[in-house]
A and B are shown apart, each in its own frame.
Chain A
Amino acid sequence: MSALLSVADAHVAYGKVEAVRSVSLEVGANEIVTIVGANGAGKTTLLSAIMGILPLKGRVAFAGQDLARLDIEDRVAMGLGLVPEHRELFVTMNVEDNLELGAFRIERSRAKASMERVYTLFPRLKERRKQLAGTLSGGEQQMLAMGRALMGEPKLLMLDEPSLGLAPIIVADIFRIVTELRAAGVSVLLVEQNAQAALKIADQAYVMELGEFVLSGKASDIAANERVAASYLGFQHEGASVV
């Protein structure tokens, strides 16, 4: 079976500095794949490059099609979604407008149903639908960013540090929703510093250090790996009690 997303020998550079070196990864259908690693390991850079925000040297294929010549907008239309670390919401517009625009490339008739699904996943957003996005709390903004990406009916949703800076109870909520997405047929590529929580829900995992993957395998094996436990899990006190 061919993977939904496959990245082979990818390099991403900022000028002369290579932030990502020779990285290969695969995400299958109905799969949660996580990339864990310390701050500055190149995780965000890799996601941005897969989305087309940064230029990438190497091969990226999505749903069997080479992405090399496609813009961000084309990738969105193909079913690749990214919830960026800084969320990039339309802060002066209300929640409903933000969601509606997430379905910009989707038929109007289907967008209505999508919005109901997003409101079922995130009831908080429905309560605040006439509120400006910029006035939401951090957790609600994260939910809105995920909701907006889901409005585009992605086959694969890439989440960049969804738990960053959020209260533990909201983090738990977001991780629960990620597993619900898998059940609904959406694959997830999850980048997290909160390795413990991420490894618990993921099927496959990659460990990134200084721009390279140093370990990969089933998430449960990675979680059991002594080196990973020593480097990442031991220091995740704030995440340890969460999931």
Chain B
Amino acid sequence: MNAIEIKNLTKNYGQKQALAELDMTVPQGAIYGFIGENGSGKSTTEKLICGLIVPNGGEIKLFGKDYKDQEIRSQIGVLIESPGCYPNISVWDNMKLQAANLGLKNEDEEIRKVLKIVRMEGSASNKFKNCSLGMKQRIGIAFALLGNPKLLILDEPINGLDADGMRIMREVLTDITTNLKCTVLISSHILGELEKIATHYGIIRGGKMIKEMTAEELEKDCPTYVAIKTKDNAKAKLALEKKFKKVSEENEYIRVYDDVKAEDVVNELYSHSILPSEVKTAKISLEEYYINLMDKGGKL
């Protein structure tokens, strides 16, 4: 059973079509990286799943049931845009409200647990409005984690987090999906961070899902290459093209995509009396893959 299954989802804001028959499948237990440009429809999709806005058409199923099903809805944790907290009351009191909203039995224990996870135990008595952006984001994550949700929907949760906050976030998400079998739908523009945790990806453009894939499929589409830098890249490229099939020049580097070792490339250059000033083995990142995909209109 899939955690989220969306078919032909459509949403219009007046004349503007935000989602155009969007299809999406999030398997249970996955960390689904939801990627797209600004205004591509990520937040709209997430708000629709949460029942915060009304769709114009299509179907949303959560764990095989209609998304309006009360039992399913009570098991969703959400952080969309910014944490929904009352500014004039303390973090602890805000958490108590959410605990009551979720109908938790051991409120204080649960709150302490999630505040500890996001390392905010010491700031529980602060008024929410006095918290920094990063602290607010952590509180938002704590809010979403309250009550051990089966599905977490996080919209740009890493924004405003420092390096430590991002690391905690990674650990938390990996932990809850591994140990609690929680499914996570996460959208972010920080693709480097997303790449470290996501097991599945969905790329949206203009309100349409242009690609859905697993991390393994992405791995196959993102080959390892040998990158070299020389004083005369044009000459080096010509020399390498005689020996290797896939050679290209990108960002001041010559990349060799053939399944070869760096030594083979360097040897080939030596044989043409060319000295490389820099040699490295790298892999196409999610960010690069995404940019290439967008440049090619969504088709690679």
Decide if A and B are genuine partners.
no
Residues of B at the A interface (CB closer than 8 Å) are: none
